[in-house]
Structure 1
Amino acid sequence: MSEERYKKAFPVSWDQLHRDAKALAWRLLESGPFNGLIAITRGGLVPAAVIARELDIRLIETLCISSYDWTQQGGAAVLKSLSDAVDLRGKGWLIIDDLVDTGRTAKIARELLPEAHFACVYAKPEGKPMVDSYITEVSQDTWILFPWDSEVQYVQPLAVRGQTFGISDK
Protein backbone atom coordinates (compact mmCIF):
# COMPACT_ATOMS: atom_id res chain seq x y z
CA MET A 1 0.00 0.00 0.00
CA SER A 2 1.26 3.41 -0.89
CA GLU A 3 1.76 5.60 2.18
CA GLU A 4 0.69 8.68 0.23
CA ARG A 5 -2.52 7.19 -1.11
CA TYR A 6 -4.12 5.42 1.89
CA LYS A 7 -4.49 7.16 5.23
CA LYS A 8 -7.39 5.14 6.67
CA ALA A 9 -8.58 1.57 6.83
CA PHE A 10 -12.14 0.29 6.57
CA PRO A 11 -12.15 -3.36 7.65
CA VAL A 12 -15.16 -5.30 6.39
CA SER A 13 -16.23 -8.53 8.10
CA TRP A 14 -17.97 -11.42 6.36
CA ASP A 15 -21.20 -10.50 8.17
CA GLN A 16 -20.99 -6.86 7.12
CA LEU A 17 -20.23 -7.76 3.51
CA HIS A 18 -23.24 -10.09 3.46
CA ARG A 19 -25.51 -7.38 4.92
CA ASP A 20 -24.21 -4.75 2.49
CA ALA A 21 -24.55 -7.06 -0.53
CA LYS A 22 -28.10 -7.91 0.54
CA ALA A 23 -28.88 -4.19 0.91
CA LEU A 24 -27.58 -3.70 -2.63
CA ALA A 25 -29.88 -6.50 -3.81
CA TRP A 26 -32.84 -4.68 -2.22
CA ARG A 27 -31.88 -1.54 -4.11
CA LEU A 28 -31.49 -3.46 -7.39
CA LEU A 29 -35.00 -4.95 -7.19
CA GLU A 30 -36.29 -1.66 -8.65
CA SER A 31 -33.91 -1.85 -11.63
CA GLY A 32 -34.63 -5.43 -12.71
CA PRO A 33 -35.52 -7.93 -13.76
CA PHE A 34 -32.16 -8.86 -15.26
CA ASN A 35 -31.34 -11.47 -17.91
CA GLY A 36 -28.25 -12.47 -15.96
CA LEU A 37 -25.44 -11.29 -13.77
CA ILE A 38 -21.78 -10.63 -14.59
CA ALA A 39 -19.36 -10.82 -11.66
CA ILE A 40 -16.13 -8.86 -11.99
CA THR A 41 -13.47 -11.21 -10.66
CA ARG A 42 -12.20 -11.71 -8.14
CA GLY A 43 -13.67 -9.14 -5.78
CA GLY A 44 -17.15 -9.23 -7.28
CA LEU A 45 -17.60 -12.98 -6.85
CA VAL A 46 -18.76 -13.00 -3.23
CA PRO A 47 -21.23 -10.10 -3.48
CA ALA A 48 -22.43 -11.51 -6.83
CA ALA A 49 -23.32 -14.81 -5.17
CA VAL A 50 -25.39 -13.04 -2.51
CA ILE A 51 -27.08 -10.74 -5.02
CA ALA A 52 -27.78 -13.54 -7.51
CA ARG A 53 -29.50 -15.49 -4.76
CA GLU A 54 -31.57 -12.53 -3.56
CA LEU A 55 -32.63 -11.55 -7.09
CA ASP A 56 -33.13 -15.21 -8.11
CA ILE A 57 -30.68 -14.90 -11.00
CA ARG A 58 -29.34 -18.24 -12.24
CA LEU A 59 -27.40 -17.15 -15.33
CA ILE A 60 -24.02 -15.93 -14.08
CA GLU A 61 -20.99 -14.92 -16.12
CA THR A 62 -17.57 -13.67 -15.09
CA LEU A 63 -15.52 -10.87 -16.53
CA CYS A 64 -11.93 -11.17 -15.34
CA ILE A 65 -10.17 -7.81 -15.13
CA SER A 66 -6.92 -7.28 -13.25
CA SER A 67 -6.05 -3.73 -12.25
CA TYR A 68 -4.21 -3.84 -8.92
CA ASP A 69 -2.94 -5.88 -6.04
CA TRP A 70 -2.66 -4.85 -2.42
CA THR A 71 0.60 -2.99 -3.02
CA GLN A 72 -0.18 -0.85 -6.04
CA GLN A 73 -2.64 -0.03 -8.76
CA GLY A 74 -1.50 -0.23 -12.33
CA GLY A 75 -2.87 -0.67 -15.81
CA ALA A 76 -5.97 -2.79 -16.18
CA ALA A 77 -6.15 -5.86 -18.39
CA VAL A 78 -9.00 -8.16 -19.41
CA LEU A 79 -7.92 -11.69 -18.50
CA LYS A 80 -11.16 -13.41 -19.60
CA SER A 81 -14.03 -11.96 -21.55
CA LEU A 82 -17.67 -13.01 -21.73
CA SER A 83 -19.45 -15.85 -23.47
CA ASP A 84 -21.80 -15.44 -26.41
CA ALA A 85 -24.77 -15.68 -24.00
CA VAL A 86 -24.26 -12.02 -23.07
CA ASP A 87 -25.84 -9.42 -25.33
CA LEU A 88 -23.01 -7.55 -27.06
CA ARG A 89 -23.96 -4.26 -25.41
CA GLY A 90 -25.02 -5.74 -22.06
CA LYS A 91 -28.69 -4.80 -22.33
CA GLY A 92 -30.63 -6.48 -19.53
CA TRP A 93 -27.49 -7.59 -17.68
CA LEU A 94 -26.31 -6.70 -14.19
CA ILE A 95 -22.58 -6.18 -13.51
CA ILE A 96 -21.45 -6.67 -9.90
CA ASP A 97 -18.14 -5.73 -8.30
CA ASP A 98 -17.11 -5.34 -4.68
CA LEU A 99 -15.67 -1.85 -5.07
CA VAL A 100 -15.24 0.97 -7.52
CA ASP A 101 -12.03 2.79 -6.61
CA THR A 102 -10.49 4.94 -9.36
CA GLY A 103 -12.97 3.62 -11.93
CA ARG A 104 -10.32 1.99 -14.11
CA THR A 105 -11.87 -1.50 -13.96
CA ALA A 106 -15.38 -0.09 -14.24
CA LYS A 107 -14.38 1.89 -17.35
CA ILE A 108 -13.32 -1.30 -19.12
CA ALA A 109 -16.53 -3.06 -18.12
CA ARG A 110 -18.57 -0.05 -19.28
CA GLU A 111 -16.80 0.00 -22.64
CA LEU A 112 -17.54 -3.70 -23.13
CA LEU A 113 -21.14 -3.51 -21.86
CA PRO A 114 -22.39 0.07 -22.10
CA GLU A 115 -26.07 -0.82 -21.60
CA ALA A 116 -25.61 -3.05 -18.55
CA HIS A 117 -26.54 -1.90 -15.06
CA PHE A 118 -23.31 -1.62 -13.05
CA ALA A 119 -23.55 -2.01 -9.28
CA CYS A 120 -20.97 -2.35 -6.55
CA VAL A 121 -21.11 -2.63 -2.80
CA TYR A 122 -18.58 0.11 -1.99
CA ALA A 123 -17.72 3.25 -3.96
CA LYS A 124 -15.01 5.89 -3.76
CA PRO A 125 -15.45 9.42 -5.17
CA GLU A 126 -13.19 8.96 -8.23
CA GLY A 127 -14.98 5.84 -9.42
CA LYS A 128 -18.52 6.61 -8.27
CA PRO A 129 -19.62 8.22 -11.58
CA MET A 130 -18.88 4.91 -13.35
CA VAL A 131 -21.55 2.91 -11.48
CA ASP A 132 -25.34 3.02 -11.45
CA SER A 133 -25.85 1.68 -7.92
CA TYR A 134 -23.82 1.24 -4.74
CA ILE A 135 -24.46 1.01 -1.01
CA THR A 136 -21.59 2.61 0.91
CA GLU A 137 -19.26 5.44 -0.06
CA VAL A 138 -15.82 5.73 1.53
CA SER A 139 -13.18 8.40 1.06
CA GLN A 140 -10.60 8.04 -1.70
CA ASP A 141 -7.78 7.70 0.85
CA THR A 142 -9.37 4.67 2.54
CA TRP A 143 -8.17 1.11 2.02
CA ILE A 144 -11.09 -1.31 2.22
CA LEU A 145 -9.85 -4.45 3.90
CA PHE A 146 -12.06 -7.26 2.64
CA PRO A 147 -12.52 -10.42 4.71
CA TRP A 148 -10.83 -12.62 2.11
CA ASP A 149 -7.68 -10.49 2.44
CA SER A 150 -7.39 -10.56 6.23
CA GLU A 151 -7.14 -12.69 9.34
CA VAL A 152 -8.29 -11.95 12.86
CA GLN A 153 -5.46 -10.88 15.14
CA TYR A 154 -4.81 -8.53 18.05
CA VAL A 155 -4.07 -4.91 17.18
CA GLN A 156 -2.86 -2.19 19.56
CA PRO A 157 -5.42 0.59 20.22
CA LEU A 158 -4.93 3.70 18.07
CA ALA A 159 -4.07 5.79 21.12
CA VAL A 160 -1.26 3.38 22.03
CA ARG A 161 0.26 2.96 18.60
CA GLY A 162 -0.26 6.62 17.59
CA GLN A 163 -0.95 5.87 13.96
CA THR A 164 -3.66 4.88 11.56
CA PHE A 165 -3.40 1.63 9.63
CA GLY A 166 0.34 1.43 10.10
CA ILE A 167 0.93 4.81 8.46
CA SER A 168 2.18 7.62 10.66
CA ASP A 169 0.02 10.70 10.90
CA LYS A 170 2.15 13.49 9.44
Structure 2
Amino acid sequence: MSENAAQKPFPVSWDQFHRDARALAWRLNGAGPFRALVAVTRGGLVPAAIVARELGLRVIDTLCVASYEHTTQTEMRVLKGLSETVTRLGGDNGEGLLIVDDLVDTGRTARIIRETAPKAHIAAVYAKPMGKPLVDTFITEVSQDTWIFFPWDTGLSFQPPIRENGA
Protein backbone atom coordinates (compact mmCIF):
# COMPACT_ATOMS: atom_id res chain seq x y z
CA MET A 1 0.00 0.00 0.00
CA SER A 2 1.25 3.45 -0.74
CA GLU A 3 1.42 6.17 1.85
CA ASN A 4 -1.20 8.14 -0.09
CA ALA A 5 -3.85 5.42 -0.13
CA ALA A 6 -6.77 5.94 2.25
CA GLN A 7 -6.05 3.78 5.28
CA LYS A 8 -7.95 2.88 8.40
CA PRO A 9 -5.42 2.92 11.24
CA PHE A 10 -5.41 -0.10 13.54
CA PRO A 11 -2.83 0.36 16.32
CA VAL A 12 -1.92 -2.83 18.19
CA SER A 13 -0.30 -2.67 21.64
CA TRP A 14 2.31 -5.12 22.89
CA ASP A 15 -0.27 -6.61 25.28
CA GLN A 16 -2.82 -7.10 22.51
CA PHE A 17 -0.26 -8.57 20.13
CA HIS A 18 0.95 -11.00 22.78
CA ARG A 19 -2.64 -12.10 23.48
CA ASP A 20 -3.32 -12.53 19.75
CA ALA A 21 -0.09 -14.51 19.20
CA ARG A 22 -0.95 -16.79 22.13
CA ALA A 23 -4.45 -17.25 20.68
CA LEU A 24 -2.78 -18.28 17.42
CA ALA A 25 -0.68 -20.84 19.30
CA TRP A 26 -3.79 -22.15 21.05
CA ARG A 27 -5.55 -22.56 17.70
CA LEU A 28 -2.47 -24.27 16.19
CA ASN A 29 -2.04 -26.68 19.11
CA GLY A 30 -4.16 -29.40 17.51
CA ALA A 31 -3.10 -28.73 13.92
CA GLY A 32 0.31 -30.45 13.99
CA PRO A 33 2.41 -32.28 14.57
CA PHE A 34 4.99 -29.77 13.41
CA ARG A 35 8.64 -30.73 12.93
CA ALA A 36 9.89 -27.14 12.63
CA LEU A 37 8.70 -23.56 12.71
CA VAL A 38 9.65 -20.94 10.13
CA ALA A 39 9.32 -17.24 10.93
CA VAL A 40 8.70 -14.94 7.98
CA THR A 41 10.95 -11.95 8.64
CA ARG A 42 10.73 -9.48 9.92
CA GLY A 43 7.14 -9.23 11.11
CA GLY A 44 6.81 -12.94 11.84
CA LEU A 45 9.72 -13.05 14.28
CA VAL A 46 7.76 -11.90 17.34
CA PRO A 47 4.69 -14.13 16.90
CA ALA A 48 6.93 -17.05 15.88
CA ALA A 49 8.86 -16.78 19.16
CA ILE A 50 5.60 -16.83 21.12
CA VAL A 51 4.12 -19.72 19.11
CA ALA A 52 7.36 -21.74 19.36
CA ARG A 53 7.39 -21.33 23.13
CA GLU A 54 3.74 -22.25 23.53
CA LEU A 55 3.97 -25.32 21.26
CA GLY A 56 7.38 -26.46 22.50
CA LEU A 57 9.02 -26.18 19.08
CA ARG A 58 12.83 -25.97 19.13
CA VAL A 59 13.76 -26.17 15.45
CA ILE A 60 13.23 -22.64 14.17
CA ASP A 61 14.26 -21.13 10.85
CA THR A 62 13.59 -17.90 8.98
CA LEU A 63 12.32 -17.12 5.52
CA CYS A 64 13.56 -13.61 4.83
CA VAL A 65 11.34 -11.66 2.45
CA ALA A 66 11.30 -7.95 1.67
CA SER A 67 8.14 -6.45 0.25
CA TYR A 68 7.73 -3.11 2.05
CA GLU A 69 9.84 -0.01 2.44
CA HIS A 70 8.25 1.54 5.51
CA THR A 71 4.65 1.95 4.29
CA THR A 72 5.12 1.44 0.53
CA GLN A 73 4.76 -2.02 -0.95
CA THR A 74 7.65 -2.83 -3.28
CA GLU A 75 8.74 -5.69 -5.51
CA MET A 76 8.90 -8.98 -3.58
CA ARG A 77 12.45 -10.16 -2.85
CA VAL A 78 13.42 -13.41 -1.13
CA LEU A 79 16.57 -12.53 0.78
CA LYS A 80 17.05 -15.95 2.44
CA GLY A 81 15.25 -19.20 1.76
CA LEU A 82 14.71 -22.15 4.07
CA SER A 83 17.78 -23.81 5.55
CA GLU A 84 18.86 -27.23 4.33
CA THR A 85 18.00 -28.79 7.71
CA VAL A 86 14.42 -27.47 7.68
CA THR A 87 13.98 -28.31 4.01
CA ARG A 88 14.93 -31.93 4.81
CA LEU A 89 12.47 -32.01 7.73
CA GLY A 90 9.64 -30.83 5.48
CA GLY A 91 10.61 -32.91 2.46
CA ASP A 92 9.83 -31.78 -1.07
CA ASN A 93 6.41 -30.43 -0.12
CA GLY A 94 7.02 -28.82 3.29
CA GLU A 95 4.75 -31.20 5.21
CA GLY A 96 5.19 -30.77 8.96
CA LEU A 97 6.48 -27.20 8.68
CA LEU A 98 4.68 -24.37 10.44
CA ILE A 99 5.20 -20.99 8.78
CA VAL A 100 4.31 -17.97 10.97
CA ASP A 101 3.86 -14.35 9.92
CA ASP A 102 2.34 -11.30 11.56
CA LEU A 103 0.02 -10.45 8.67
CA VAL A 104 -1.18 -11.83 5.36
CA ASP A 105 -2.03 -8.78 3.26
CA THR A 106 -2.18 -9.25 -0.51
CA GLY A 107 -0.97 -12.85 -0.34
CA ARG A 108 2.25 -12.28 -2.28
CA THR A 109 4.44 -13.72 0.50
CA ALA A 110 2.04 -16.63 1.08
CA ARG A 111 2.20 -17.48 -2.64
CA ILE A 112 6.00 -17.69 -2.44
CA ILE A 113 5.68 -19.97 0.59
CA ARG A 114 3.16 -22.20 -1.25
CA GLU A 115 5.60 -22.50 -4.19
CA THR A 116 8.45 -23.41 -1.82
CA ALA A 117 6.54 -25.66 0.59
CA PRO A 118 3.04 -26.42 -0.74
CA LYS A 119 1.95 -28.56 2.22
CA ALA A 120 3.36 -26.33 4.96
CA HIS A 121 0.85 -24.95 7.44
CA ILE A 122 0.80 -21.15 7.07
CA ALA A 123 -0.41 -19.14 10.05
CA ALA A 124 -0.75 -15.40 10.55
CA VAL A 125 -1.95 -13.34 13.45
CA TYR A 126 -3.89 -10.95 11.19
CA ALA A 127 -5.41 -11.51 7.74
CA LYS A 128 -6.80 -9.21 5.07
CA PRO A 129 -9.38 -10.48 2.54
CA MET A 130 -6.97 -10.74 -0.41
CA GLY A 131 -4.53 -12.94 1.52
CA LYS A 132 -6.91 -14.85 3.79
CA PRO A 133 -7.56 -17.76 1.37
CA LEU A 134 -3.82 -18.50 1.28
CA VAL A 135 -3.34 -19.12 5.01
CA ASP A 136 -4.48 -22.13 7.00
CA THR A 137 -4.90 -20.40 10.36
CA PHE A 138 -5.29 -16.79 11.48
CA ILE A 139 -6.78 -14.95 14.45
CA THR A 140 -8.19 -11.59 13.38
CA GLU A 141 -9.47 -10.42 10.00
CA VAL A 142 -9.16 -6.75 9.12
CA SER A 143 -10.37 -4.92 6.02
CA GLN A 144 -8.06 -4.58 3.03
CA ASP A 145 -7.81 -0.83 3.55
CA THR A 146 -6.67 -1.17 7.17
CA TRP A 147 -3.10 -0.28 8.06
CA ILE A 148 -1.92 -2.16 11.15
CA PHE A 149 0.50 -0.26 13.35
CA PHE A 150 2.47 -3.01 15.08
CA PRO A 151 3.95 -2.27 18.50
CA TRP A 152 7.54 -2.52 17.24
CA ASP A 153 6.80 0.22 14.68
CA THR A 154 5.24 2.74 17.06
CA GLY A 155 5.89 4.70 20.21
CA LEU A 156 3.46 5.94 22.79
CA SER A 157 1.85 9.16 21.67
CA PHE A 158 -1.45 10.99 21.74
CA GLN A 159 -4.06 9.66 19.31
CA PRO A 160 -6.79 12.11 18.27
CA PRO A 161 -10.39 10.84 18.37
CA ILE A 162 -11.48 8.93 15.27
CA ARG A 163 -13.99 11.60 14.25
CA GLU A 164 -11.23 14.26 14.26
CA ASN A 165 -9.11 12.10 11.92
CA GLY A 166 -11.71 12.39 9.19
CA ALA A 167 -12.52 8.67 9.36
SS of equivalent residue, structure 1 residue 102: coil
Q: What CA distance in whole angstroms lies between the structure 1 residues aligned with 2:119 and 2:39?
A: 16
| Counterpart for residue 45 of structure 2 | 45
Identity across the alignment (%): 60
Deviation at 1:68, TM superposition (A): 1.2
Superposed counterparts of 1:65-76, under 5 Å: 65-76=65-76
Q: What CA distance in whole angstroms lies between the structure 2 residues aligned with 1:18 and 1:158?
A: 25
| Counterpart for residue 127 of structure 2 | 123
Q: What CA distance in whole angstroms lies between the structure 2 residues aligned with 1:71 and 1:59?
A: 32
TM-score, length basis structure 1:
0.91
| Counterpart for residue 11 of structure 1 | 11
SS of equivalent residue, structure 1 residue 53: helix
Q: Encode CA deviations 1:18-75: one digit per residue, 9 max, x unaligned.
A: 1001001111011112001000000000000000000000000000011112331122
Poorly superposed stretches of 4+, deviation over 6 Å: none
Higher helix share: 2
Unaligned residue ranges in structure 1 (runs of 5+) = 165-170
**How many residue pairs get matched?**
162
TM-score, length basis structure 2:
0.92
RMSD, aligned CA? 1.2
| Counterpart for residue 35 of structure 2 | 35
Deviation at 1:82, TM superposition (A): 1.3
Q: What CA distance in whole angstroms lies between the structure 2 residues aligned with 1:139 and 1:3?
A: 17
Which residue identity lines up with residue 43 of structure 1 in the other structure?
G
Question: Greater shift after overlay, 80-89 or 123-132?
Answer: 80-89
Deviation at 1:162, TM superposition (A): 4.3
Which residue identity lines up with residue 166 of structure 2 in the other structure?
Q
Q: What CA distance in whole angstroms lies between the structure 2 residues aligned with 1:49 and 1:111?
A: 24
Alpha-carbon spacing, 1:12–1:3, altered in 2? closer, same or farther (3 Å): same
